[in-house]
Amino acid sequence: MAGRKGGAKAERLERLAWGVNDRLGSTAFLQANLRKAFPKHWSFLLGEIALYSFVILLITGVYLTLFFKPSGAVLIYDGSYAPLNGVRMSEAYASTLHLTFDVRGGLLMRQIHHWAAIVFLAAITIHLLRIFFTGAFRKPREINWLIGTTLFALALAEGFAGYSLPDDLLSGTGLRIFEGILLSMPVVGTYLALWAFGGQFPSSEDFIPRLFTVHILLVPGLLLALITAHLMILWHQTHTQWPGRGRRERAVHGEPTFPHFAAQSASYFLFTFGVLAGLAAFAQVNPVWLYGPYEPDEVSFGSQPDWYVGFLEGSLRIMPRLETNLFGHTIMWNVLVPAVVLPGVFFTLIALYPFVERWATGDERVHHLLDRPRNAATRTAIGAAVIAWYGNLWAAGGNDVIAWAFDIPLFWTTWFFRAGFFVAPLLAFTITRRVCLSLQRRDLRQREEGVESGLISLSPEGGFHERHERPSDEREALLRTRRPEELVAPYPRHLIPLPTPDRARAQVRTRVNRFYLNYQSESHGGGQGDLRRDSRRHDDR
């Protein structure tokens, strides 16, 4: 009897599956996609960390939403945290304290959520750097680069919004800075501040509910839509892969989606969740109960935002005092430039970089193989310069802490970081480019002379020399991945050298092209070499 019931149940499930397949064509879809190859390399996991952190943010955020009260109404606290009993505070801050001390697992969930936000931004940042340094943004992946840049900007806004919701002293200080940034915008600044805060900050009770809606609905919806589009485009275009023996632009080598990649992804998600839970359990983050509620006339010493907005803090601290009175209006350049103009230009340049490089190099080909960073010396040097520039601003955001810790005057640190704003990127660019060219020369020597074997030979004349051996096939494939010489543009020639706009544009583009690609003046054979000679040598071998 039990066997007949089991057979009938299996038959019904089979009919259901075939019914779904007849209507949706699921079998054909699964057959086409379950065997899709995914390359195996640790650097590809950076994007997965960002994805899994976002999923954890959604899960923990739903839990926190059940207990948090997004209200700016003022009350007298009489909860279980004794040091703040009898203190006037907003309902948002009181509910945060209740969630922390009275809800079972509340503090753990709060800290998992906060750590997940920190790791989410860090993973996106490192993932973007990996894509940049390896040239994974090149054709046909420019759209995904734009989506990734937008995700980065939205994640910054989402992190700042969540960080500001508890209405504690630290987050309130950040909101006061945000109000100052809005007010610094000429003509429209006052109206933007009144519209955003619903009145005069911090007396308005409308801002926290608005910020809560933005944090749990608007920005997460945009993030979810963009992440979905990002993954769909990635799935359609296939994954990039590192160069190696037998690797070609049109063929992707890797493990199939099912069962290998699916099992690895599931285990990696659990691993990410476990690490975040461990951080939440043993590493305290954002202890809002120690800061107290926000009061406009109080600012705690050493207050620092989360790391991902530290560069904005640093840019504000090192900007000199500068303002202009024009037609009865005061333009605060010391706020407008570092907090509005600078990040706007920064994110715009990041978004447009793939198109700038394509214009400079004239490379319109489809790329599925990644660049070794050393073989794109100029791009790698630009990336290092941006990291140095960002790091200088990030460190400047803690100039008061640095001055206190090392017992040096605050103005010394301020002027040090002001100089570093210009000097650090130049030094990083120059040093990184020279290192890349040196690595290219070493690769060229290995191709011409072979690799060191560690074996010493005695010549008939009594001399000693080390024997070199041919590189392995895998190493040989890596050594041959170099920038194509044909992308270096010749200088334009004109019969009549008149300063026409077309001639000026051609000259500019040619110089930018040679700045990017032509390393012959700095390193013979570096990055270019004689491809015809190299191919003949390879054929002779």
* Lowest mean per-residue pLDDT among 175-189, 241-255, 311-325, 394-408: 241-255
Task: Say what the pLDDT of residue 5 is.
Answer: 58
Q: Give residue 493's pLDDT band: very low, low, confident or very high (50, 70, 90).
A: low
Secondary structure of 5-51 in HEC code, one letter for each residue:
HHHHHHHHHHHHHHHHHHHHCHHHHHHHHCCCEECCCHHHHHHHHHH
Q: Is the pLDDT of residue 300 over 90?
A: no
Location of structure tokens 């963009």: 226
Over residues 88-116, the mean pLDDT reads 95
Q: Print burial letters for 19-31: b (CB count within 10 Å at least 16), e (below 16).
A: eeeeeeeeeeeee
Question: For the chain, which domains are there?
Answer: 37-248+257-297 (1.20.810.10)
Alpha-carbon distance values, 393 to 253, 325, 399, 413 (Å) = 41, 28, 10, 12
Over residues 449-453, the mean pLDDT reads 74
Q: Give residue 444's pLDDT band: very low, low, confident or very high (50, 70, 90).
A: confident
DSSP-derived secondary structure for 179-237? HHHHHTSTTTHHHHHHHHHTSSTTT-SSHHHHHHHIIIIIHHHHHHHHHHHHHHHHHHH
Task: Say what the pLDDT of residue 534 is.
Answer: 44
What percent of the chain has pLDDT above 70? 85
Q: Give residue 441's pLDDT band: very low, low, confident or very high (50, 70, 90).
A: confident
Q: Give residue 539's pLDDT band: very low, low, confident or very high (50, 70, 90).
A: very low
What does the pLDDT look like over 140-164, one tens digit per residue?
A: 999 999 999 999 999 999 999 999 9
Q: Is the pLDDT of residue 108 over 90?
A: yes
Task: Say what the pLDDT of residue 485 is.
Answer: 62
Task: Say what the pLDDT of residue 224 is.
Answer: 96
Over residues 518-538, the mean pLDDT reads 50
Task: Say what the pLDDT of residue 38 is.
Answer: 73
What percent of the chain has pLDDT above 90? 51
* Cα 331 from Cα 313, distance rounded (Å): 20
Tokens of 163: 């960080």
Average pLDDT, the chain: 85
| pTM for the model | 0.87
Q: Give residue 42's pLDDT band: very low, low, confident or very high (50, 70, 90).
A: confident
Q: Give residue 490's pLDDT band: very low, low, confident or very high (50, 70, 90).
A: confident
Cross-strand bridge partners of residue 464: 458
Question: 3-state class of 67 per DSSP?
Answer: coil
CB contact set of 57 (below 8 Å; sequence gap of 6+): 113, 116, 117, 120
Task: Say what the pLDDT of residue 327 is.
Answer: 79
Task: Say what the pLDDT of residue 45 is.
Answer: 86
Task: Say what the pLDDT of residue 4 is.
Answer: 60
* Cα 447 from Cα 536, distance rounded (Å): 13
What does the pLDDT look like over 236-288, one tens digit per residue?
A: 888 888 877 767 776 677 677 777 778 888 999 999 999 999 999 999 999 99
Question: 3-state class of 242 per DSSP?
Answer: coil
Residue 292's CB is within 10 A of a number of other CB atoms, namely: 18
Residue type, 122: A
What does the pLDDT look like over 504-525, one tens digit per residue?
A: 888 888 888 888 887 755 555 4
Q: Give residue 101's pLDDT band: very low, low, confident or very high (50, 70, 90).
A: very high
Return the higher-pLDDT residue of 201 and 420.
Answer: 420
**Pairing state of beta strands 323-326 and 255-256?**
unpaired
Task: Say what the pLDDT of residue 28 is.
Answer: 64
What does the pLDDT look like over 329-379, one tens digit per residue?
A: 788 899 999 999 999 999 999 999 999 999 998 888 888 888 889 888 999
Q: Give residue 540's pLDDT band: very low, low, confident or very high (50, 70, 90).
A: very low
Return the higher-pLDDT residue of 517 and 496.
Answer: 517
Confirm if 186 and 336 have CB atoms less than 8 A apart: yes
Which range has the top average pLDDT, 7-11, 14-18, 463-467, 535-539? 463-467
* Cα 350 from Cα 128, distance rounded (Å): 10
Q: What does the chain come to in residues?
A: 541
Task: Say what the pLDDT of residue 535 is.
Answer: 42
Q: Is the pLDDT of residue 536 over 70?
A: no
Q: Give residue 413's pLDDT band: very low, low, confident or very high (50, 70, 90).
A: very high
Return the higher-pLDDT residue of 271 and 296.
Answer: 271
Return the higher-pLDDT residue of 282 and 200.
Answer: 282
Over residues 179-191, the mean pLDDT reads 90
Task: Say what the pLDDT of residue 218 is.
Answer: 95
DSSP label of 528: -
Task: Say what the pLDDT of residue 529 is.
Answer: 44
